[in-house]
Every structure is written in C-alpha cells, then in structure tokens.
C-alpha cells in the first residue's frame, strides 16, 4: 500500500477519507489496493479508514484481530454488532465525506461492491458516502511502466504473427489449401515462438 500517494489523491479529490471494509472477500479491490493476502480466511467484518491527512484506523473482530496487522494505524476491536456500530461511528466521526467501493445507481458495477445495508449504516452516522471510482482507477487500473512495455511488446508480436499468418495461408492455398483448425494451431505455435501467452485460442474464419 502506498499510503502517501493515497492520501495525496484523497486531498486532490476533496474527500476526507477512504473507507475499506470486507467480509468473506466480497471486495477484491480492497485486498489489492491495501496489499492484503487474498487467501486469508475472513469470517468477520473488518473496516480500514485511510484519512486524507493523519494516521489510518482499523476495526476488527476479536476472533480475527490480526487481519489488518500488516497495515499502519490504530486498531479497535469489537465482538457484537452493537459494539461494531459504536466503534465504527466513533471511527468515522472526524470525517464528513468518505469514499467507498460504491457507484451511484450501480452505473459502474465493477466498483459497486459494498452492500446497500453497509452504505445505509455509514450514512446513518451523518457521513456522506461517495464513489471511490476515480481512486480505484488510479491505484488499481493504471498500468505501470513495465505493464505498458509488456503491452507494446505483445502488440508488436501479434502484428508479426498476423502478417506471417496471411503469408502462410497464401502459401498453403497455392499448395492444395488448408482449413481453420490448422491455421489456428499454426498461430498458437507462432505465439509460442514470440513468447506470447493467450487464455483462449485465436478465432480463424
């Protein structure tokens, strides 16, 4: 997690904080942005608040009190739902506006991961909930320099294979013909020579 960068982005957006919460890995974005292990068992709700300025705060269940120990911040613990709500209200008291993985009218459904009940609970404290969409785009969807380089390398490799495939089709047509499956396999072999990987084979029609 890049805390200074997140806090700088919060200040740029005019948000007081970014509130993360999860239960049973419902929000994979939170794990990737915060750098939490995706394979951990999460049977109790946890909350993590990153303020635009100052130290983050965390709220965890006493049974799973160590879930956020890799992250900076003051830790609170709860057991029953009454204690959870009391602690969460205290946690959010300094902030008027918090960003969450929420999209108004579910327009960006890949962002809208927080259930309506949790949104209602946060708003019942007098806290305004806004979409974290722009923050997620910055910290989850922006390509790194290495990823950009890989993207261009893949583009160049595919272009070479495409040009060579048409030449191969022409050669085969002049020598008796070919069919789609044969060319699909030829292209897959050519991908291998270019060190390209694909989830699905190419469609040849």
Task: Check whether 6 has a pLDDT greater than 80.
Answer: yes
User: With bands split at pLDDT 50, 70 and 90, how would you rate the model's confidence at 121?
Assistant: very high
Going by the DSSP 8-state scheme, the letter that residue 201 receives in this structure is P
Residue-by-residue DSSP string for 127-158: PEEEE-HHHHHHHTSSPPHHHHHHHHHHHHHH
| pTM (two decimals) | 0.73
- Confidence at residue 18, expressed as pLDDT on a 0 to 100 scale: 96
Question: pLDDT tens digits, residue range 172-195?
Answer: 999 988 889 999 999 999 999 999
């Amino acid at each position: 997690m890049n805390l200074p960068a997140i806090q700088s982005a919060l200040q740029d957006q005019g948000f007081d904080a970014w509130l993360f919460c999860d239960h049973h890995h419902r929000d994979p974005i939170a794990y990737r942005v915060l750098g939490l292990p995706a394979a951990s068992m999460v049977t109790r709700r946890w909350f993590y608040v990153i303020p635009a300025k100052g130290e983050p705060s965390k709220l965890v269940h006493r049974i799973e009190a160590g879930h956020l120990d890799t992250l900076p911040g003051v830790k609170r613990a709860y057991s029953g739902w009454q204690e959870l709500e009391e602690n969460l209200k205290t946690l959010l008291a300094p902030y008027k506006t918090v960003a969450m993985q929420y999209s108004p009218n579910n327009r960006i459904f890949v962002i809208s991961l927080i259930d309506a009940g949790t949104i209602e609970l946060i708003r019942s404290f007098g806290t305004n909930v806004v979409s974290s969409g722009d923050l997620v785009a910055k910290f989850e969807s922006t390509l790194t320099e290495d990823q950009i380089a890989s993207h261009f390398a893949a583009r160049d490799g595919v272009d070479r294979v495409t040009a060579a495939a048409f030449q191969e089709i022409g050669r085969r047509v002049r020598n008796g013909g070919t069919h789609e499956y044969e060319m699909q396999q030829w292209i897959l072999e050519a991908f291998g020579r270019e060190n390209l990987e694909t989830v699905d084979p190419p469609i040849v029609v």
